[in-house]
């Protein structure tokens, strides 16, 4: 596959379009979560029905991501990318206009399908737009979107929902979507690519059934008691059978596979896929758990909670120029830098678990948030540059699709695990704390004497706050261990010696 390097204003236009498209997709993964309670009320949906506003989007997203290289070959990268942005924008408007639950769920599924076509082409386009010597610069720019998008989502969603309407979490996509679509149609050029082979209907069907069922189990598992529920067991079996059939069919049953699974034979690709899975678990888990803690336990507003998260993202953004300079150096082994970034993030997450209490202040959270930004800055750019350098150009689209899919699934696992871990850790701590609350305990008796008739309610509130704090700390330690397990994976990448 040939690359299409751009210069001057044409490069600025293409990069701007890619960044806008990536931000739209990444922010949407978190912005809607904040508005869910209000959406449920506005559309008359139950909590279970409202959860499908997120689930439907993610199910479609994970199905389309591995198909995006084939879809690019079928339609042409320019046309497919423009169609994905335009479709995402139009369905955003329709989601904002929907007046019933079923329509909203269907539209969110369609929006997720278009959103699935944004990230893989975006990363590939921004790489091809810069010459090989500026690979680090291209991935630094892409990392900005990856870092900022999911972080600003909850804050922006809260502001729009509180000050305007839940419908504006969708309408906010319109102007950026229109601008990005026009820039793509006006300035993006197609590289020379071989035409798409054929339509692998059977493979696509197995993929849709397998990934769709897996996503359902991840999103709905905790709500229905995971495998205590016979419906979850059945769907988990369907997911396993569907994914197994998909892998076997793509490898041995068809000559025109929709997803090039054989690229996983390359050491760098499978190592990156596993690393992305672990990083996705922790990255999205942290984005999910910290706002819950700061708002429910510390009483932060949505804005203050978002600001605390933005300190981590802001630190990473400020350090990206330094990281860009590092990745340009031919004498630096980027595998070591990426491994150090994951390791630092693991250590910071572990340390932060000891900062978490029921009385932690905003200022007390900032040092670990800033240090976490250092870890993230050392992680994303070196990891992607090291991967690109170790691959043959022809395998890059399929490799990006698969590594991105693993990260997306990791994110879904992380979100599901967060809910489960908070629930299970919380139950254990609540039982332990409740057992220690007795009148024979002098501090308890003194507390009840001091609070008079409201002592029972005040004591129950304190136990609940402490329970949530301890559960949050345990959950952070779990994610720290997950990251530590991933720290050595970049070292498995194929070593590439660059010329000075």
Q: How far apart (Å, rounded) are the C-alpha atoms in residues 271 and 269? A: 5
Rounded to the nearest 10 degrees, the angle between the axes of helix 362-389 and helix 334-353 is 160
Amino acid 1: pLDDT: 47
**Contact present, 491 and 339 (Cβ < 8 Å):** yes
**Contact present, 222 and 423 (Cβ < 8 Å):** yes
The verdict on 238 and 272 lying in the same domain is no
**Contact present, 129 and 6 (Cβ < 8 Å):** yes
The verdict on 401 and 452 lying in the same domain is yes
The verdict on 106 and 245 lying in the same domain is no
In this structure, what are the phi and psi dihedrals at residue 172, rounded to the nearest 5 degrees?
-60, -20
Determine how many CB atoms are found less than 10 A away from the CB of residue 140: 24
The verdict on 228 and 330 lying in the same domain is no
- Overall domain count for the chain: 3
The verdict on 298 and 220 lying in the same domain is no
Amino acid 245: pLDDT: 94
The verdict on 208 and 192 lying in the same domain is no
Amino acid 482: pLDDT: 93
Here the CATH number for the domain that contains residue 466 is: 1.20.1250.20
Please report the DSSP string for 93-107 in residue order: HHHHH--SHHHHHHH
Q: How far apart (Å, rounded) are the C-alpha atoms in residues 210 and 66? A: 13
Amino acid 500: pLDDT: 44
Q: How far apart (Å, rounded) are the C-alpha atoms in residues 362 and 353? A: 15
Amino acid 93: pLDDT: 94
Amino acid 173: pLDDT: 92
The verdict on 438 and 500 lying in the same domain is yes
**Contact present, 120 and 404 (Cβ < 8 Å):** yes
Say whether 267 sits in a helix, a strand or coil.
Answer: helix
Angular region, 76: left φ>0, alpha ψ -120 to 50, beta rest: left
Q: How far apart (Å, rounded) are the C-alpha atoms in residues 34 and 32? A: 5
Q: How far apart (Å, rounded) are the C-alpha atoms in residues 218 and 205? A: 20
Q: Which residue has the tokens 């040092």?
A: 367
Residue ranges of the chain with per-residue pLDDT less than 50:
1, 500
The verdict on 43 and 117 lying in the same domain is yes
Q: How far apart (Å, rounded) are the C-alpha atoms in residues 11 and 126? A: 9
Pull the structure tokens for residue 158.
Answer: 């809260």
Amino acid 436: pLDDT: 63
Strands, DSSP E only, in 294-361? none
Report how far Cα 308 is from the mean position of its chain's Cα atoms.
18
Q: How far apart (Å, rounded) are the C-alpha atoms in residues 448 and 459? A: 8
- In degrees, to the nearest 5, what angle opens at C-alpha 104 toward C-alphas 120 and 19? 25
pTM: 0.84
What does R_g of the chain's alpha carbons equal in angstroms?
23
The verdict on 226 and 121 lying in the same domain is no
The verdict on 10 and 106 lying in the same domain is yes
Q: Among 172, 199, 226, where does a domain finish?
A: 199
User: What range defines the domain where residue 388 resides?
Assistant: 265-500
The verdict on 173 and 226 lying in the same domain is no
Q: How far apart (Å, rounded) are the C-alpha atoms in residues 129 and 382? A: 19
Which one-letter DSSP state was computed for residue 192?
P
**Contact present, 73 and 195 (Cβ < 8 Å):** yes
Pull the structure tokens for residue 484.
Answer: 């530590």
Cα dihedral across residues 358, 373, 410, 300: positive or negative: positive
Q: Among 154, 183, 199, where does a domain finish?
A: 199
Cα dihedral across residues 11, 17, 20, 25: positive or negative: negative
Q: How far apart (Å, rounded) are the C-alpha atoms in residues 380 and 306? A: 21
Q: How far apart (Å, rounded) are the C-alpha atoms in residues 368 and 294? A: 14
The verdict on 239 and 327 lying in the same domain is no
Q: Among 156, 178, 199, where does a domain finish?
A: 199
Say whether 4 sits in a helix, a strand or coil.
Answer: coil
């Amino acid at each position: 596959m040939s690359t299409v390097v751009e210069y001057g204003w044409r490069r600025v236009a293409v990069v701007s379009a890619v960044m806008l498209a990536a931000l739209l997709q990444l922010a949407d993964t978190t912005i809607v979560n904040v508005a869910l309670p209000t959406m449920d009320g506005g559309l008359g949906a139950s909590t279970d029905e409202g959860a499908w506003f997120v689930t439907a989007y993610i199910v479609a997203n994970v199905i389309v991501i591995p198909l995006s290289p084939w879809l690019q070959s079928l339609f042409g990268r320019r046309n497919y990318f423009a169609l994905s942005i335009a479709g995402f924008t139009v369905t955003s408007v329709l989601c904002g206009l929907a007046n019933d639950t079923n329509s909203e769920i269907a539209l969110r599924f369609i929006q997720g399908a278009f959103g699935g076509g944004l990230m893989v082409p975006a990363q590939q386009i921004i790489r091809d737009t810069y010459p090989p010597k500026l690979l680090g610069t291209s991935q630094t720019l892409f990392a900005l979107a990856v870092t900022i998008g999911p972080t600003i989502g909850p804050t922006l969603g809260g502001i729009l929902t509180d000050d305007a309407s839940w419908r504006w979490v969708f309408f906010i996509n319109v102007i950026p979507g229109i601008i990005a679509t026009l820039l793509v149609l006006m300035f993006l050029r197609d590289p020379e690519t071989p035409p798409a082979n054929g339509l692998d209907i059977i493979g696509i069907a197995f993929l849709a059934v397998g990934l769709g069922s897996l996503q359902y189990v991840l999103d709905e598992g905790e709500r229905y008691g995971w495998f205590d529920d016979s419906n979850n067991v059945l769907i988990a079996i369907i997911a396993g059978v569907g994914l197994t059939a998909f892998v076997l069919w793509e490898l041995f049953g068809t000559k025109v596979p929709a997803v090039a699974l054989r690229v996983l034979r390359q050491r760098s690709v499978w190592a990156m896929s596993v690393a992305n899975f672990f990083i996705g678990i922790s990255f999205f888990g942290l984005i999910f758990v910290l706002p819950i803690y700061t708002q429910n336990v510390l009483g932060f507003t949505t804005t203050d909670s978002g600001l605390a998260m933005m300190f981590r993202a802001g630190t990473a953004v400020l350090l990206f120029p330094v990281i860009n300079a590092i990745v340009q150096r031919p004498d630096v082994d980027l595998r070591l830098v990426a491994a150090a970034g994951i390791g630092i993030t693991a250590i910071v997450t572990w340390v932060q678990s000891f900062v978490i209490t029921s009385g932690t202040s905003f200022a007390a959270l900032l040092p670990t948030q800033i240090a976490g930004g250092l870890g993230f800055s050392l992680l994303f750019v070196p990891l992607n540059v090291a991967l690109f350098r170790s691959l043959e150009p022809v395998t890059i689209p399929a490799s990006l699709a698969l590594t991105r899919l693993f990260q997306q699934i990791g994110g879904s696992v992380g979100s599901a695990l967060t809910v489960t871990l908070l629930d299970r850790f919380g139950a254990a701590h609540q039982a332990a704390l409740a057992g220690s609350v007795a009148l024979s305990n002098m501090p308890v008796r003194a507390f009840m004497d001091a609070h008079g008739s409201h002592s029972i309610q005040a004591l129950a509130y304190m136990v609940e706050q402490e329970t949530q704090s301890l559960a949050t700390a345990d959950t952070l330690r779990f994610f720290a261990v997950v990251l530590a397990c991933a720290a050595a994976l970049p070292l498995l990448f194929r070593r590439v010696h660059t010329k000075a």
